[in-house]
Amino acid sequence: MNSNDKDFVLRKNNFIQNNKKLSIKSKKRLQKSKSDNTLRAYEADWMDFYDWCTHHSLQALPAEPETIVNYINDLADHAKANTVSRRLSAISENHKAAGYVDKNPCRGGLVRNALDAIKREKGTLQRGKAPILMEDLRNITSYFDNTDIAGIRDKALLLLGFMGAFRRSELVQIDIEDLTFTQEGVIILVAQSKGDQLGQGAQVAIPYSSNLDICAVTALKSWIHTAHLNSGPLFRPLNKYKQIRNRRLTNQSVAIIVKKYAKLSGLNPDNFAGHSLRRGFATSAAQHDVDERSIMQQTRHKSEKMVRRYIEQGNLFKNNPLNKMF
């Protein structure tokens, strides 16, 4: 039985498709209101709820509020509060797509109270991967082999990822055509990203650094020159003979490379991943007293909430009252 047989209507969105007042063109465009990644995540969450309902001989669509409350309480036995909240969003979105807008069981007080109780009991603290800070980056640079093509690529990848505060998905999507070198540095076009669902695009400027060891622009030029790249994907995998493949590096490869150099520099690789570069920039910028607005300009965050978390982390010791007491 495929997922379409399991009441996951969000992908086709019957509420839109059955609306006779909408033109075919309008229906097609409305189907693109959510990204493929979002739909895949919602579908996986919905399938978990559907399977739970099937096991308990309960109806998933439309579901009764009590069914949803019992499900999220079972889920909370082994999942974090944030996971429970995300599953509830998927259930709600699928009900809306099926036409249950005014009678969405997720919107009722019973479900909201159940979720609040779970959050209060379990807490909502998110333990993300550790940041690679500026001083960590300086230590890591000594482990790049500048005589090896893999080392040249990895240096450009990590320095660019940090200086541009790129998500790993953004990093691997960069093409040669997206780069504009100037006297001041390089401007990188980010056509679309997780935080830019409307595809407005953004430009990220990375200036030259007086310290060549951590200069992302110089490292980037070295990689492009050594790899003889003229067009297409910027960062590419290598085969066992160190030959460059004609395809993009994957998201997972970025995480593997970050872990590799974290380990070489004496850090615990289990604490780091692809996101450590982006998080590291924001945290390091806060430690260097960069203002919130400037950090957001480079990270391209739309909300201050996440950036403020990074700033708070960066200032844990700087603004610590014990410093004055000592």
**Catalytic residue annotation:** 167, 194, 275, 278, 301, 310
Count of C-beta atoms within a 10 Å radius of residue 120: 10
User: Residue 44 belongs to what H/E stretch?
Assistant: helix 36-55
Quickly tell me which residue has 């010791």 as its tokens.
317
Q: Which of 254, 279, 260, 266 is CA-nearest to residue 132?
A: 279
Sheet with strand 185-190: strands edge to edge: 179-181, 185-190, 202-207
Contact 149, 266 (CB under 8 A): no
d(CA 209, CA 212): 6
Q: Which of 323, 276, 286, 325 is CA-nearest to residue 308?
A: 286
d(CA 284, CA 286): 5
